[in-house]
Amino acid sequence: MERLSRLGPLIGKGASACVYQHPDRQEHVVKILRSRPHLFAQEEAVLRQLPDYPGLCQCLETVMIEDDGQSYPGFVFPVYGKLDLNTNYLNSIGSLQVVASATLALIVAHQRGIVHRDIKTENLMCLSDGTIVLIDFGSAGKAGEIKPRSGTPGYKAPEVLLGQAIDQRADIFSLGVVLYELIIEENPLFPQFEGNSPSDIRGNLRFFWNEVAQLGKPLDPLIKKMTAFEKEDRFRGAAETYLAIIRTLYLLNRRTRRS
């Protein structure tokens, strides 16, 4: 394992991780879990299970960072670009295309038994050729596990908030919120989606669905099914979700050609 005695500028900071520019390579970044280093082994195990797929982040190597007399393990990733929400994805068709690409990545991850658990707009990045990449598997785990603190408020599925076991359909819920957010540039579930009882959560979802209804068909039924309160009422998995998104794209494109 390579040892680094310095890091480049801080690029981003989350609840448990910091991302820095690699000190010697402009095309790479270093992610370290400075506040929660004990989670390194957990994330490393998940990353090792991910196949070499363009839509999934790829850990290039692990490193040890020496800083202030302490050592922190870290991951080296390629530099990914942020989605440019101001130019490319403000229309429904562009947003659906982004989410369709993310859904394909989820199909691959779910086939390995991995649930991402923290799907959100900030975790969808892109390559220079426009390929959408799903990043940050720090909260990921196996289906059936209970991790009530995993995920980001505003994107968490009801079963996560209720402390129940989750499966791949929790990712589908979060992706439905992302789709709506890409279209209208705001997340109406954040920060209100903090209810700790089924009635609170249902109330927040009713507010969200009322907002979704303003999009009309075919987006309204798609997003409502993706974000159903009961996971049994959502799409059964990422593959079924992808087919529904492609059908919605077809309907929107046909409407555009007619108008």
Q: Would residue 130 be called left, alpha or beta, if left means φ above 0 and alpha means ψ between -120 and 50 degrees?
A: left
In this prediction, residue 106 has a pLDDT band, given cuts at 50, 70 and 90, of: very high
Identify the band that residue 38 occupies on the pLDDT scale cut at 50, 70 and 90.
confident
More confidently predicted of 221 and 67? 221
Element (H, E) at 160: helix 158-161
Structure confidence at residue 103 (pLDDT): 98
pLDDT surpasses 80 at 67: no
Residue 172, pLDDT > 70, answer yes
Is 68's pLDDT higher than 90? no
Residue 220 has pLDDT above 70, yes or no: yes
What pLDDT shows up at residue 86? 56
Q: Which residue is catalytic, options 24, 118, 136, 171? A: 118
Domain 2-78 architecture: 2-Layer Sandwich (3.30)
Please say if the pLDDT value at position 233 is more than 60.
yes
- The confidence score (pLDDT) of residue 191 equals 62
What type of residue sits at position 62?
Answer: T
Q: Are 53 and 137 in contact (CB under 8 A)?
A: no
Strand partners, 32: 18, 74
Q: How confident is the model over 64-69, as a mean pLDDT?
A: 84
Across the range 87-100, mean pLDDT stands at 81
9-31 per-position pLDDT tens digit: 999 887 778 999 999 999 999 99
Say whether 171 is catalytic.
Answer: no
Distance CA 3, CA 61 (A): 11
Going by DSSP bridges, is the β-strand pair 61-67/2-4 parallel, antiparallel, or unpaired?
A: parallel
Residue ranges of domains in the chain = 2-78, 81-258
How far is the C-alpha of 127 from the C-alpha of 69, rounded, in Å?
A: 36
> 188: pLDDT confidence band, cut at 50, 70 and 90?
confident
Q: Is the pTM of this model over 0.95?
A: no
- For 51-82, the DSSP string reads -S-TTB----EEEEEEETTEEEEEEEEE--EE
At 82, list the tokens: 């942020």
Please count the CA atoms within 13 angstroms of the CA of 111 that sit on its side-chain side. 10
* Per-residue pLDDT reduced to its tens digit, 147-156: 766 888 899 9
CA distance 21 to 30: 6
**Quick one: what percent of the chain has pLDDT higher than 70?**
93
Residue range 81-258, CATH number = 1.10.510.10
